[in-house]
Amino acid sequence: MRKLLPLVGLVALICLIPLCATADVSEIALMLKQGGYVLVVRHGATNDSQKDVYPFVFDDMKKQRQLSDQGRKVAREMGAAFKALGISIGQIYSSQLNRAIETGSLMSEEQITTVNELTDSGAGGALAMANPNGSNPKIGNAIRALVNRAPATGTNNVLITHKTNIADAFGKELADVKEAETLVYRPNPSGPPTLVGRVPASEWIAQATKR
């Protein structure tokens, strides 16, 4: 009987770990049409010739890395895809950095609310970008609380942030999030939000063209 205890414990541990999201983009799009979800989006592709100055200077675009032309194009196409798929956007919360704000504004005409905890927790550093370790629990807790905030009926909230902040909130295993990739969450008032799926920008755009 004692030999079975480690196995039983392992099974119990596995049951506590959230299952990997398996829903594909067509299923996710249908769910989002009903509203009630939160889209956590990493900002779009940027111009690497620009560098962030830290401490951040939010009102000086010359001291921040900005979206590239491709980043702007993809953000517009994502917004158009959401409209074509009948996905209604409610509140948009964004990092204070312009590359995130611009991503949100190109995706939707809804007003954007900037949030300190969504601002790059890696301080624009190359090392933090290369290896986000999810080491800021304060920021992680704040982001999870924001994701668990229920959207208005029939709508879905959007958070535009950075890969370092995503690692802080949801673990370093999600630090491979790509530019403009969406993590779709179901709010959970009694615990951590539930990951429904991961959708690269190209899949939203491709799904919209099938309609």
* pLDDT tier for residue 176 given thresholds of 50, 70 and 90: very high
**Which two three-digit tokens encode residue 171?**
């673990």
Range with lowest mean pLDDT among 30-34, 36-40, 92-96, 188-192: 188-192
- What range defines the domain where residue 98 resides? 21-209
pLDDT tens digits for range 4-49: 444 434 333 333 334 444 579 999 999 999 999 999 999 999 998 8
- Number of structural domains (the chain) is 1
Beta carbons within 10 angstroms of residue 122's beta carbon: 23
Distance in angstroms (rounded) separating the CA atoms of residues 84 and 154? 16
Confidence (pLDDT) at 211: 73
For residues 123-138, average pLDDT: 75
Confidence (pLDDT) at 13: 35
**Which two three-digit tokens encode residue 182?**
């969406």
Domain CATH number, residue 60 = 3.40.50.1240
Is residue 108 a part of any domain in this protein?
yes
In DSSP notation, 96-145 reads: SSHHHHHHHHHH--S-EEE-GGGS-TTTT-HHHHHS-----HHHHHHHHH
Confidence (pLDDT) at 128: 63
- Mean pLDDT, the chain, integer: 89
Is residue 152 a part of any domain in this protein?
yes
